[in-house]
Amino acid sequence: MKFLNNYNPYKLIIISLLGSAFIVYPNIAWLPWKLGYLEGHARITHINFFIFRYIYFSILIGLLVHVNLRKITTLVFGNRFFRNLMISTIAYLIYLSVSYSFCSHADCFGSILIFQFIVMCFLCSFVGHVYFMYKDQHKKDLEIEQLKVENLQSRCDALANQINPHFFFNSLNSITALVRKKNDTNTLEFVNKLSDVFRYILKSEKKGLVSLGEELHFIESFRYMLEVRFANKIEFKIDINDKQKELKLPSLSLLPLIDNIVVHNTIDSENKMLVSIRINEKDELEVSNPIHPKLSPNVTNGTGLKNLENRFQLLMDKKVIVLNDGISFTVCLPLKY
Tell me, yes or no, whether 129 and 30 share the same domain: yes
Which residues, other chains included, contact 16 with Cβ-Cβ below 8 Å and sequence gap of 6+?
58, 59, 61, 62, 65
Which of 122, 143, 164 is the endpoint of a domain? 143
287 pLDDT tier (thresholds 50, 70, 90):
very high
Domain co-membership, 102 together with 239: no
Answer with the one of 143, 172, 195 that is the final residue of a domain.
143
- Say yes or no: 214 and 128 in one domain: no
The residue that leads in pLDDT, 162 or 130, is 130
Considering the domain architecture, whether residues 197 and 112 belong to the same structural domain is answered as no
For residues 126 and 223, state if they share a domain.
no
% of residues, the chain, pLDDT over 90: 16
Residue 169's pLDDT band (cuts 50, 70, 90): low
Q: What's the pLDDT score for residue 109? A: 53
Based on the fold, state whether residues 209 and 297 are members of the same structural domain: yes
Asked if residue 78 is part of any domain, the answer here is: yes
Q: Which helix (H) or strand (E) holds 143?
A: helix 111-181
CA distance 80 to 73: 8
Residues 219 and 130 in one domain: no
Q: What is the Cα–Cα distance from 109 to 228, expressed in whole angstroms?
A: 99
Q: Which pLDDT does position 153 carry in this prediction? A: 56
- Mean pLDDT of the region 290-294: 90
More confident residue, 171 or 56: 56
Helices 111-181 and 254-264, axial angle in degrees (round to 10): 30
CA angle 311, 317, 323 (to 5 degrees): 70
> Is there a single domain that holds both residue 30 and residue 124?
yes
- pLDDT tens, position by position, 175-230: 776 677 776 777 777 788 878 877 877 777 667 788 999 999 888 888 887 887 78
Q: How many domains does the chain have?
A: 2
Q: Does a structural domain hold residue 177?
A: no
Instruction: Out of 13-17, 40-44, 78-82, give the one with best mean pLDDT.
Output: 78-82
Residues 137 and 238 in one domain: no
The length of the chain in residues reads: 337
Q: Is 153 a domain residue?
A: no
pTM: 0.52
In a domain, 160, yes or no: no
Q: Tell me, what's the pLDDT at 225?
A: 78
How confident is the prediction for the chain on average, in pLDDT?
A: 79
- Is the model's pLDDT at 103 over the cut of 80? no
User: What per-residue confidence (pLDDT) applies to 194?
Assistant: 78
pLDDT, tens only, 42-74: 777 777 777 888 888 888 888 888 888 888 888
| Nearest Cα to Cα of residue 236 among 227, 245, 246 | 227
Residue 167 lies in a domain: no
Q: What single-letter DSSP state applies at residue 219?
A: H
Residue 168 domain-assigned (yes or no): no
Domain housing 62 = 2-143
Q: What is the CATH number of the domain that holds 246?
A: 3.30.565
Between these two residues, 240 and 297, which has the higher pLDDT value? 240
Claim to verify: residue 139 and residue 187 sit in the same structural domain: no
pLDDT at 300: 59
Higher pLDDT, 285 or 64: 285
Q: Quickly state the pLDDT bin for 320 (edges 50, 70, 90).
A: very high
pLDDT of residue 96: 79
pLDDT at 102: 63
Same-domain pairing of 189 and 268? yes
Task: Please tell me the predicted confidence (pLDDT) of residue 322.
Answer: 93
On whether the CB atoms of residues 246 and 296 are closer than 8 A, the answer is no
How far apart are the C-alpha atoms of 49 and 45, rounded to whole Å? 6
| Single residue among 143, 166, 201 that ends a domain in this structure | 143
Considering the domain architecture, whether residues 114 and 229 belong to the same structural domain is answered as no
Is residue 48 in some structural domain? yes
Rounded mean pLDDT of 272-295?
Answer: 93
Q: For residue 117, name the pLDDT band (cuts at 50, 70, 90).
A: confident
